[in-house]
């Protein structure tokens, strides 16, 4: 009786200890995490980030990704007025033509920004801007004496930035910049400009129905040409870049699988009795994996130059390591009985592997390969951004300009769709192939 | 008797026909696959700046250069290691912080998208789609945009990696959640626990080991990712590597030191996490252990 009681006491003490240990752990762990994040907060200088945060950049990025602006520019030396979308040559209106909200008079050029905002380019470089609810702003820029602006109020509001040589007026309707050499007006519109056709194409500005009916009328080849070779959005190059990215992922993944499979036999305990060979092969796999795609990319780019092949090889080498490790683990788990059965019929070693081993490991291998195919599509985008190939390169190029944010947004959407499509495709193939294998064999 | 042999021959003929059909299909698939590989290789080779066969013999030139310079300046190596160690720590910190933040977000997202546990069962498809999209975004996309807005440094990389990690881990976590028992949740509900309490006290203790093991695996991946993001301007060892590479010929000893540091860090974390994961799943059913290792 007393022994039993002692035992209960002992168990009770033990349980209490266990409880307190668990309590310590479950309260201690969040505290440790919190401490670490606090350390990171100060180590990464998050408070200083607020100062470095460039609100203007963020605003330009967001605004530009869903809207575009048309520049109306007057050169103060020659007096020529030109119109260009985003101020790019590719988006220029043909000479002498302007959007319909600009009226080219003999003396005055009237720019209607909508909502009552009206800018007039007068004779002799004179500029006036009628802002509703504020008044008429005028300026007489000249090379000798600067902008010479005059405002209706004595105080300068904060949406006007004026100095001797430069004045910028930013309103909801648009923006007017006056310098000694030129006067420039921006008007903003929602949407992606010239997505289908550039201004030099006869189909620019036509409605969808109109274009369709012309396509049916026998102009489909010309329409396709104008769309496909759109200089602004470069649909042809984008399609090639997406294809290159997927190609890198496909070649890299499949190549790695082909290289890794025979090597995996050398690293599997049940196929290679020599410890030395096994160890050497395994260290090779570790090395390929450990060096990391970044370093392989740099090394390969030196030898092969930028392009999709370099990206494919970088993926191939890194994944040979990963696949080798996983395949050899799968090979170590195969059932010996099937191999013995094949052997008993007098099969040679190669036949034993082909019919005794491969059918057993195929489903495992396939599902791993297909999983990597999807994840490598993402890696190929990243590697492309470093070495220069595929959609990753186009993305970085568009970012470097720091103004084509609508293209950046477009590429991001395409990348996400591409990865999701590959995810779906690899899942579909996995179900198809592996389910097919089970019923077939 | 003749009937029987007749049936046997029929069966054999059927079987042989089936085998032939299967072989034929396998053969066709193999031919298509080889054609795809060869033509893909040729297109890639064609669109590459330098050709494959030209580059092949140059493959070892750069590594040889780096190694010979590193060997030539062997006495400076320890100094380089000390110089670049802080940036290695920064890279590891980026990976660790983003894994932590991503895992916390993934925990919430996965609970919200598991049947039987979700707070709003109708919104399960929505949260699943959100995770799919987060998973599909390559880190570099977010990092580049954030670098433009915030300037270079570790924070853009951390946010970018955490975002992707949340999606990737969220999917794995919700698979774990599906195997968790709902009985503790029901028990807690019967005593009036709120949703957060039910999850924190009823579900998390069951799934924590598996979560932890997945998060460790992700940490390994994230170290590589944070090194790469450094290369595009997000700080850490990748940034130093880019600088060291730009010094050019005769100055590759720094690059060699960084290569070695990065390699050592990746291998060390790899080994450490596999040991910890082994211990974590030790004593559990093999099915679980396999799942974790897969």
Closest CA in chain B for residue A394: B141
**Residue A137 CA to its chain's centroid (Å):** 43
Closest CA in chain B for residue A365: B294
Residues of A in contact with B36 (CB under 8 A): 250
Instruction: Indicate the burial class of B204 (C-beta count within 10 angstroms; 0-12, 13-18, 19 or more).
Output: middle
Note the pLDDT of residue A48: 80
Check if the beta carbon of residue B206 is closer than 8 Å to that of residue B181.
yes
Q: How many CB atoms lie within 10 A of CB A26?
A: 14
Note the pLDDT of residue B288: 44
Report the gap between the CA of A402 and the closest CA in chain B (Å). 8
Domain co-membership, A185 together with A333: no
Average pLDDT over residues A333-338: 84
Report the gap between the CA of A171 and the closest CA in chain B (Å). 23
Band (pLDDT 50/70/90 cuts) for residue B292 is: very low
Residues of A in contact with B33 (CB under 8 A): 254
Average pLDDT over residues A258-283: 87
Buried b (16+ CB within 10 A) or exposed e, A72-102: bbbebeeeebbbbbbbbebbbbeeeebbeeb
Residues of B in contact with A329 (CB under 8 A): 293
Q: How many CB atoms lie within 10 A of CB B79?
A: 11
CA B165, CA B144: separation in Å to the nearest integer? 17
Domain co-membership, A185 together with A313: no
Question: Which conformational region is residue A16 in: left (phi greater than 0), alpha (psi within -120 to 50 degrees), or beta?
Answer: alpha
Looking at A160, A190, A220, which one is the last position of a domain? Answer: A190
Residues of B in contact with A392 (CB under 8 A): 138, 140
Range of the domain at A426: 235-440
CB contact under 8 A, A294 and B58: no
Residues of B in contact with A378 (CB under 8 A): 136, 138
Residue B116 to residues A421, B122, B126, B184, B205, Cα–Cα distance (Å): 29, 11, 16, 12, 17
Average pLDDT over residues A325-342: 87
Question: Which conformational region is residue A393 in: left (phi greater than 0), alpha (psi within -120 to 50 degrees), or beta?
Answer: alpha
Give the helix ranges, DSSP H, for A305-335. 308-332
Domain co-membership, A172 together with A270: no
Band (pLDDT 50/70/90 cuts) for residue A3 is: low
Report the gap between the CA of A187 and the closest CA in chain B (Å). 24
Percentages helix, strand, coil for chain B (3-state, rounded to 5) are: 85, 0, 15
pTM score, two decimals? 0.82
CB contact under 8 A, A382 and B138: yes
Q: Which of the residues A64, A256, A294, A409 would you substitute to probe the B interface, choosing the one with the greatest number of B C-beta atoms within 10 Å?
A: A294
Domain co-membership, A153 together with A260: no
Average pLDDT over residues A136-148: 79
Residue A246 to residues A190, A251, A391, A416, B47, Cα–Cα distance (Å): 32, 9, 10, 13, 14
Q: What is the DSSP string of B85-115?
A: HHHHHHHHHHHHHHHHHHHHHHHHHHHHTST
Question: Can you name the residues that pair with A117 across neighbouring β-strands?
Answer: A114
Domain co-membership, A317 together with A240: yes
Residues of B in contact with A314 (CB under 8 A): none
Looking at A190, A222, A252, which one is the last position of a domain? Answer: A190
Check if the beta carbon of residue B134 is closer than 8 Å to that of residue B67.
no
Q: Which of A292, A307, A420 sits opposite B136 (nearest CB)?
A: A420
Look at residue A58 and tell me if it is in a domain: no
CB contact under 8 A, A52 and B151: yes
Look at residue A278 and tell me if it is in a domain: yes
Note the pLDDT of residue A324: 92
**Per the structure block, which two tokens stand in for B288?**
């679980």
Domain co-membership, A184 together with A240: no
Of B165, B150, B161, the C-alpha closest to B107 is B165
| pLDDT tens digits, one per residue of A336-383 | 888 888 888 888 888 888 888 888 888 888 888 998 998 899 999 988
CB contact under 8 A, A415 and B231: no
Percentages helix, strand, coil for chain A (3-state, rounded to 5) are: 60, 15, 25
Q: Give me the long-range contacts of B58-62 (CB less than 8 A, separation at least 24).
A: B58/A302, B58/A303, B59/A299, B59/A300, B59/A303, B61/A302, B61/A303, B62/A299, B62/A302, B62/A303
Note the pLDDT of residue A269: 84
Look at residue A43 and tell me if it is in a domain: no
Least confident of A20-29, A97-106, B18-27, B34-43: A97-106
Looking at A121, A156, A190, which one is the last position of a domain? Answer: A190
Domain co-membership, A184 together with A73: yes
Quote the number of domains for chain A: 2
Domain co-membership, A256 together with A373: yes
**Per the structure block, which two tokens stand in for A258?**
């082909």
Check if the beta carbon of residue A206 is closer than 8 Å to that of residue A242.
no
Domain co-membership, A157 together with A258: no
CB contact under 8 A, A382 and B140: yes
Q: Which of A299, A389, A396 sits opposite B144 (nearest CB)?
A: A396
E strands along chain B, which residues? none
Spatial CB neighbours of A219, under 8 Å, sequence gap ≥ 6: none
Q: Which of A43, A251, A303 sits opposite B41 (nearest CB)?
A: A251
Note the pLDDT of residue B291: 45
Q: Which of A44, A46, A307 sits opposite B47 (nearest CB)?
A: A307
ipTM here = 0.83
Report the gap between the CA of B141 and the closest CA in chain A (Å). 7
Dihedral sign for Cα A373, A374, A379, A384, please: positive
Check if the beta carbon of residue B273 is closer than 8 Å to that of residue B219.
yes
Instruction: Name the DSSP class of A93.
Output: P
Of A68, A70, A81, A69, the C-alpha closest to A182 is A81
Instruction: Name the DSSP class of A146.
Output: B
Look at residue A130 and tell me if it is in a domain: yes
CATH number at residue A333: 1.10.3720.10
Residue B294 pLDDT > 50: no
Look at residue A389 and tell me if it is in a domain: yes
Domain co-membership, A375 together with A291: yes
Look at residue A34 and tell me if it is in a domain: no
Residues of A in contact with B52 (CB under 8 A): 304, 309
HSE (side-chain half, CA atoms, 13 Å) at B110: 27
Note the pLDDT of residue A145: 77
Residues of A in contact with B45 (CB under 8 A): 309
Look at residue A207 and tell me if it is in a domain: no
Domain co-membership, A117 together with A266: no
Residue A285 pLDDT > 50: yes
Residues of A in contact with B241 (CB under 8 A): 294, 298
CB contact under 8 A, B150 and A412: no
Average pLDDT over residues B188-195: 91
Beta strands across the sheet bearing A67-75: A81-85, A67-75, A182-190, A174-179, A166-170, A160-162
Note the pLDDT of residue B293: 42
CB contact under 8 A, B153 and A45: yes
Percent of chain A with pLDDT over 90: 11
| pLDDT tens digits, one per residue of B86-126 | 999 999 999 999 999 999 999 999 999 988 888 898 999 99
Q: Which of the residues B34, B42, B45, B55 would you substitute to probe the A interface, choosing the one with the greatest number of A C-beta atoms within 10 Å?
A: B55
CB contact under 8 A, B150 and A52: yes
Spatial CB neighbours of A277, under 8 Å, sequence gap ≥ 6: A266
Domain co-membership, A149 together with A275: no
Look at residue A388 and tell me if it is in a domain: yes
| pLDDT tens digits, one per residue of A307-322 | 888 999 999 999 999 9
């Amino acid at each position: 009786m007393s022994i039993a009681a002692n035992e209960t006491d002992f168990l009770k003490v033990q349980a209490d200890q266990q409880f307190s240990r668990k309590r310590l752990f479950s309260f201690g762990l969040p505290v440790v995490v919190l401490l670490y994040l606090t350390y990171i907060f100060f180590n990464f200088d998050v408070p200083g980030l607020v100062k470095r945060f460039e609100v203007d950049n963020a605003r330009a990025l967001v605004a530009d990704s869903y809207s575009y602006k048309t520049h109306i520019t007057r050169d103060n030396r020659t007096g020529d007025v030109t119109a260009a979308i985003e101020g790019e040559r590719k988006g220029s209106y043909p000479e002498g033509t302007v959007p319909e909200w600009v009226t080219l008079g003999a003396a005055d050029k009237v720019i209607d920004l909508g909502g009552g905002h009206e800018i007039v380019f007068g004779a002799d470089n004179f500029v006036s801007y009628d802002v509703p609810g504020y008044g008429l702003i005028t300026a007489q820029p000249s090379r000798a004496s600067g902008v010479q602006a005059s405002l209706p109020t004595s105080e300068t509001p904060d949406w006007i930035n004026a100095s001797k040589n430069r004045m910028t007026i930013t309103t909801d309707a648009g923006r007017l910049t006056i310098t000694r050499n030129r006067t420039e007006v921006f008007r903003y519109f929602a949407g992606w400009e010239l997505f289908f056709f550039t201004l030099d194409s006869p189909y620019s500005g036509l409605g969808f129905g109109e274009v369709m009916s012309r396509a049916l009328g026998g102009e489909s080849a010309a329409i396709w040409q104008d769309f496909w070779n759109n200089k602004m959005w470069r649909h042809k190059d984008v399609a090639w870049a997406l294809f290159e990215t997927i190609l890198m992922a496909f070649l890299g993944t499949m190549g790695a699988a082909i290289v890794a499979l025979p090597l995996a036999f050398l690293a599997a305990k049940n196929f290679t009795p020599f410890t030395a060979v096994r160890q050497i092969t395994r260290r090779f796999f570790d090395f390929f994996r450990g060096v990391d795609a970044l370093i392989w990319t740099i090394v390969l780019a030196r030898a092969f130059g930028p392009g999709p092949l370099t990206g494919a090889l970088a993926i191939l080498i890194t994944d040979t390591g990963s696949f080798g490790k996983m395949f050899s683990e799968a090979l170590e788990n195969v059932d010996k009985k099937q191999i013995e059965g094949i052997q008993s019929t007098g099969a040679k070693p190669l036949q034993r592997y082909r019919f005794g081993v491969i059918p057993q490991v195929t489903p495992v291998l396939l599902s791993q390969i297909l999983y990597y195919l999807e994840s490598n599509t993402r890696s190929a985008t990243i590697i492309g951004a470093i070495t220069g190939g595929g959609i990753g390169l186009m993305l970085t190029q568009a970012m470097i300009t720091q103004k084509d944010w609508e293209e950046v947004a477009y590429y991001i959407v395409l990348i996400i769709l591409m990865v999701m499509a590959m995810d779906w495709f690899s899942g579909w193939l996995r179900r198809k192939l592996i389910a097919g294998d089970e019923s077939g064999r | 008797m003749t009937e029987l042999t007749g049936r046997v021959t029929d069966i054999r003929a059927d079987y042989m026909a089936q085998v032939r059909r299967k072989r034929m299909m396998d053969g066709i698939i193999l031919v298509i696959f080889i054609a795809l590989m060869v033509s893909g290789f040729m297109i890639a080779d064609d669109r590459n700046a330098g050709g494959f066969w030209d580059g092949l013999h140059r493959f070892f030139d750069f590594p040889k250069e780096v190694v010979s310079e590193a060997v030539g300046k062997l006495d400076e190596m320890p100094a380089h290691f000390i110089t670049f160690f802080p940036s290695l720590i920064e890279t590891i910190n980026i990976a660790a912080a983003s894994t932590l933040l991503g895992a916390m977000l993934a925990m919430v997202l996965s609970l919200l998208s598991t049947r039987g546990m979700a707070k709003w069962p109708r919104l399960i498809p929505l949260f699943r789609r959100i995770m799919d999209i987060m998973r599909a975004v390559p880190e570099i996309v977010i990092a580049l945009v954030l670098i433009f807005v915030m300037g270079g440094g570790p924070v853009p990389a951390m946010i970018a990696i955490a975002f992707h990690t949340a999606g990737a881990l969220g999917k794995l976590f919700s698979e774990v959640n599906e195997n968790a028992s709902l009985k503790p949740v029901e028990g807690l509900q019967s005593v009036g626990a709120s949703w957060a309490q039910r999850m924190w006290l009823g579900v998390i203790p069951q799934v924590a080991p598996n979560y932890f093991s997945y998060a460790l695996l992700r940490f390994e991946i994230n170290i590589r990712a944070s090194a790469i993001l450094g290369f595009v301007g997000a700080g850490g060892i990748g940034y130093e590597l880019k600088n060291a590479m730009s010094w050019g010929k005769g100055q590759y000893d720094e690059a060699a030191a960084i290569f070695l540091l990065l390699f050592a860090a990746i291998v060390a974390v790899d080994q450490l996490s596999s040991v910890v994961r082994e211990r974590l799943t030790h004593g559990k059913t093999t099915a679980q252990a396999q799942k974790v290792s897969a």
